[in-house]
């Protein structure tokens, strides 16, 4: 077989490394954006900002930036799936078009009962992280109690 000249093969990166980078990107996004900060069509933004010249560049800095941008997009899409149950899409008038009928995101909830609660600035993922941390601590305390109880019996 004749050897082709000028080609460079893209070496795969370890999936665990990519997943760790994705995790870091998600955590970073969640620290400075609330739920409504993710209420947009990432694909449409993506198509508007991508330049073919940079996409096809062979320079290391451009390739690194493309990878970082791709991780940002995937992280945003994962957060949208978590918050809204789907990756958001908009129509020509920039209105979200793929939500089920009569469904709104949680940050649009306002209750007019005994107290007024405006969830416009809610960051539900941070709230879930706090709840999970409390559950972990509670479970850890339960394990300690069971262990202490068994030690007393012996």
pLDDT in tens, 4-37: 678 888 899 999 999 999 999 999 999 888 999 9
**Do residues 89 and 98 touch, judged by C-beta distance below 8 A?**
yes
User: What is the predicted pLDDT for the residue at 78?
Assistant: 96
Q: Which residue has the higher pLDDT, 87 or 54?
A: 87
The answer to whether residues 98 and 41 touch, using CB atoms and an 8 Å cutoff, is no
φ, ψ for residue 117, nearest 5 deg: -120, 120
- Whether the per-residue pLDDT at 124 is higher than 90: the answer is no
Q: In the predicted model, what is the mean pLDDT of the chain?
A: 82
Name the percent of the chain lying above pLDDT 70: 78
**Residue-wise burial string across 68-97, b where 16 or more C-beta atoms lie within 10 A, e elsewhere:** eeebbbbbbbbbbeebbeeebeeeeeeebe
- The arithmetic mean of pLDDT across residues 80-102, rounded, is 93
Q: What residue segments make up the domains of the chain, in order of their start?
A: 15-100
CA-based nearest residue to 26, from 65, 87, 72? 72
């Amino acid at each position: 077989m004749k050897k082709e000249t000028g080609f460079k093969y893209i070496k795969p990166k370890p999936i665990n490394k990519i997943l760790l980078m994705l995790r870091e990107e998600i955590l970073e996004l969640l620290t400075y954006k609330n739920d409504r900060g993710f209420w947009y069509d990432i694909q449409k933004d993506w198509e508007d900002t991508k330049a073919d010249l940079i996409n096809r560049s062979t320079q290391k800095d451009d390739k690194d930036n493309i990878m970082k941008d791709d991780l940002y997009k995937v992280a945003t899409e994962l957060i949208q799936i978590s918050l809204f149950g789907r990756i958001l899409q908009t129509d020509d008038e920039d209105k979200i078009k793929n939500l089920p009928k009569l469904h709104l995101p949680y940050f649009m909830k306002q209750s007019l009962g005994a107290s007024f609660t405006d969830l416009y600035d809610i960051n539900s993922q941070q709230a879930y992280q706090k709840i999970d941390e409390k559950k972990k601590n509670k479970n850890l305390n339960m394990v300690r109690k069971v262990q202490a109880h068994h030690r007393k019996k012996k």
